[in-house]
Amino acid sequence: MTQQLLTGWGRTSPSRCDLVDADRGDIESVVAAAPDRGVLTRGLGRSYGDSAQNGGGMVVRLSGSAAKFVLDPVTGVLRAGGGVSLDTVLREVVPQGWFVPVTPGTRFVTIGGAIASDIHGKNHHVDGSFGNHVTSLTLLLADGTTIVVGPEQQPEIFWATIGGMGLTGIVLEASVQLLAIETSRCLVDTNRLDDLDQLLAAMSDGDDRYRYSVSWIDLVAKGRHLGRSVLTRGDHATVGDLDAGAAAAPLAYNPRQLLNVPPLVPAPGVLNHASVAAFNESWFRLHRARATTTIESIAGFFHPLDGVRSWNRLYGRSGFVQYQFVVPFGEEPVLRQVIERLASSGAASFLAILKRFGAANRAPLSFPEPGWTLALDIPARSRDLGELLHGLDRLVLDAGGRHYLAKDSHTTPDSIRRGYPRLAEWQRVRDSLDPSGRWCSDQARRLELVTATDIGRRS
């Protein structure tokens, strides 16, 4: 056990805790020794805000047998410990012709973290979020007992755990149905769109023809260029799509991190309004005005930023805020208002991603619901950032939208209550599993996700 200062991937709001690495065999005793401020599991630290921190309490990382997995090569069912990463899984299963059913923009997340955040990807409009593909999970409860739950086995507990931010218990193991693939490449169509209207029309009319769809938006562009974008859509390539050289080893997979951002980036960081504006202009012009079709690697299509180790350091010591929301279909005027405010604010975001969500699942705290989701990052040092984001919050919530807990670092308890109308239902299940409030996090206290009694005890 060591005292350590932790932050999320955005490198804001640090807090100090007792950090412990625990194997499956000793996890119960470790949890039993948790202090009054409670305990929380942490994966690879890729949630952006304070959801994997527990200041003054204990934070546990799963190791040993809790970070191993077994694949059934016939059925594609993966049985994995909560501490195993998608990166580790992919290096083993892709060469065998399997792919994870859902991946976010990084492969450096754990199975337990994927479940706790109910991660989503470019294919939500087709395949839903990660929890849709979990067939069972083993959960360590606050009283030290272990239960196995699933969509049909104690489903209330199962769905409270999916997207439950680690506050129902520790996911020790999960079974996940993988996706069969022929190759480790993707067939990708790329279109450059000159404004937001063109983008929304293209995605509304064409996304259903593709398993994966995502658009990068230039949030610096204004006026008639507002919302200009690069839209990429695709699916897993077949052997017939490859040239002779690639077809000779169709499932070859060896992603690498080619660059490393140094620990100390001079203030105020590399990313500012001028550098982002230059990058956005170059990125937009790099893509041809006419549509193109290319073959891309899995790593290049799904996880481009993983090629740069510690890319979050580019924002400097003050870090950055990740902001993601969803608004229902039919609320496109609100989406436009948000983009207009961001473009006018001067806030520098080089990574702004728009996707379309499909149907929601049964989890009360799962983020995705049918509609448009926009994710962006903004340097934490940006002028009047809190005022800007809280103004956007009001637009999103008034439109019936919500914010993603795994990326949140600024919203309020009222925002979460408005955005998640089933919050009380989730709290009832959580409290029945953990009446003493053993599981806790900085985010849970900040957003009052745990009950008032527990907040008082853990404050």
- Find out whether 219 and 376 touch, Cβ atoms under 8 Å: yes
pLDDT at 265: 60
pLDDT in tens, 116-127: 999 999 999 999
The residue with tokens 């077809």 is 247
- Residues facing 99 on adjacent strands: 179
Q: How many residues are given for the chain? A: 459
- What average pLDDT score do residues 207-235 get? 94
Measured between alpha carbons, how far is 202 from 220 in angstroms, rounded to an integer? 21
pLDDT in tens, 141-168: 999 999 999 999 999 999 999 999 999 9
Using alpha carbons, select from 8, 15, 1, 11 the residue that is nearest to residue 458: 15
> Which residue segments constitute the domains of the chain, with CATH numbers given?
2-63+420-458 (no CATH), 64-180 (3.30.465.10), 185-415 (3.40.462)
Asked if residue 312 has pLDDT above 70, the reply is yes
Half-sphere exposure of 431 (CA within 13 A, CB side): 14
Element (H, E) at 374: strand 371-379
Asked if residue 406 has pLDDT above 50, the reply is yes
Q: Choose the weakest-confidence range: 190-194, 287-291, 335-339, 396-400.
A: 287-291
For the chain, how are helix, strand and coil distributed in percent, rounded to 5?
35, 25, 40
pLDDT at 315: 86
Using alpha carbons, select from 102, 335, 357, 99 the residue that is nearest to residue 207: 357
CB crowding 327-341: b at 16 or more within 10 Å, else e: beeebbebbebbbee
- Name the pLDDT band for 457 (thresholds 50, 70, 90): very low
pLDDT at 164: 98
- What average pLDDT score do residues 3-29 get? 95
pLDDT at 235: 98
Looking at residue 400, its amino acid is G
Per DSSP (E only), the strands in 23-97 are 39-41, 58-62, 69-71, 77-81
In percent, the amount of the chain with pLDDT more than 70 equals: 93
Asked if residue 281 has pLDDT above 80, the reply is no
- What average pLDDT score do residues 193-206 get? 97
- Find out whether 216 and 353 touch, Cβ atoms under 8 Å: yes
- Mean pLDDT, the chain, whole residue set: 93
Asked if residue 31 has pLDDT above 60, the reply is yes
pLDDT at 453: 46
Half-sphere exposure of 415 (CA within 13 A, CB side): 21
DSSP readout, 249-276? STT-------EE--S-PPTT-S--HHHH
